[in-house]
Amino acid sequence: MFEMFHLQERGTDVKTEARAGFTTFLTMMYIVPVNAIIMGKTGMDMGAIMTATALITIISTVLNGLWANTPIAMSVGMGLNAYFTFGLVLGMKLPWQTALGIVFISGVLFIILSFTNFRVWVMQSVPTDLRRAISAGIGAFIAFIGLKEMGIVVANKATLVSLGNLSEPHVLLGIFGLLVAFGFYTWRIKGAFILAILVTSIVGWAFGLGELPKSIFSMPASISPIFLKLDIASALSLSLLPVIITFLITDMFDSLGTLAGVGYRAGLFKDDSKELQKTLEVDAVATSLGALLGVSTTTSFIESASGVEEGGRTGLTAVFTGLFFILTLFMLPIFESIPANAIYPILVMVGVLMFTELEHINFQDIPTAVSAFIITLMMPLTYSITNGLSLGFIAYLFLLLIRGEFNRINIGVISLAAIGSLVFIFH
């Protein structure tokens, strides 16, 4: 029954894979309520988002286990879901249906490119340090959103932003949740994020900052309010091309970074491995499928590393993870009752983890240092991943030109800088 996973060849067994799958499930279970809180800000039905998030996690993760035979779990990506909500819908005032159309188109492009040598071209063309800066910039962006939504950072006419009212009960709950998340992660507790949400929610309920769940389980909410509601025609606009490219490139970088961090460490991937290629193919298909279901970009989750650490080495780990996520379909009453400020601390925590990519960047190289700084700073300051990425690549190309370092300029850098220029031409 399990011969297709080649368990013996990879030095594992069904029991180990099941334990690894459950560990991965615990560490990334938080995505269901967190994604619903974030995307729910667009006006989309939160119950439908929870169901759709669980469904795309189940489908993509199980599919990856069966197709690629890798222990990589997938779900709606943190960072791009925040950009979807706060950048496109609330920032650019795009209808959420159009934003879903953008996600779908980027996914289709990813599908097409995943069956070509484009992955190799990207790896060779785009400097690793700039890819790391993009990850760090997204981390700063979602952390800023988390702090803002908790009320720790507020608007100020004189200074743009300032410290919020730290005596306000909901703000105090958010600070408590942040400290709990930091503490649990520092102690390397499995399922630190979902446990932090649970502890903070209990405290919130105890102090009347949220309503206790009326029940524990219920039937899944219908996804009909968001299913197939994407507007592809409106997304097919030249002015939105940079945004589509941003979703495509960011998803690809995120996936490649995750697979490098998880797969290479476990000895699962080589640069030209079929497993890596197939995992990217599932990632691409899942993004378009997720847009049809009504959620933002789907990507490989770094939390898969927890399952790998437990001994997971094959796709059976991913299959078990996906099957465990079926439980979340029936936990709507609990998820709906979670106070918002028990959720937003997790955005900050994820932001911290992504921001640590800066430690690997060579800041002795001036073009790299300046570009990384611009990318990381401008994403949160302009409330846009697209703006930060575009300004960074334009600055990188400009500095290489004036320094006469033409050997470092390639078609990839030129293309991304040119596409980034469209952001400001059509601004």
Name the nearest CA neighbour of 357 among 216, 261, 236, 255.
261
Give the helix ranges, DSSP H, for 187-298. 192-206, 232-235, 241-259, 274-293
Q: What is the DSSP string of 120-157?
A: HHHHHHS-HHHHHHHHHHHHHHHHHHHHHHHTSEEEET
How remote is the C-alpha of 221 from its chain's centroid? 23
Determine the 3-state secondary structure of 90 from DSSP: coil
Largest CA distance in the chain: 67
Do the beta carbons of residue 38 and residue 81 sit within 8 Å?
yes
Task: Per residue of the chain (427 residues), give pLDDT as tens.
Answer: 677 777 777 778 888 889 888 888 988 888 998 899 999 999 999 999 999 999 999 999 999 999 988 888 999 988 788 889 988 899 889 999 999 999 999 889 888 887 777 666 766 677 888 878 888 888 888 889 889 889 999 988 888 889 999 999 999 999 999 999 999 989 988 778 888 889 999 999 999 888 888 888 888 899 999 999 999 999 988 878 888 888 887 777 777 666 666 665 556 665 556 777 788 889 889 999 999 999 998 988 877 877 877 778 888 999 999 999 999 999 888 888 888 898 888 888 888 888 888 888 999 999 999 999 999 999 889 887 778 888 998 999 999 999 999 888 888 788 778 877 776 776 5
Q: What is the DSSP string of 364-383?
A: TSHHHHHHHHHHHHHHHHTT
> Residue 15: in which H helix or E strand, if any?
helix 14-28
> Judging by DSSP bridges, how do beta strands 153-156 and 160-163 pair with one another?
antiparallel
* pTM of this structure: 0.81
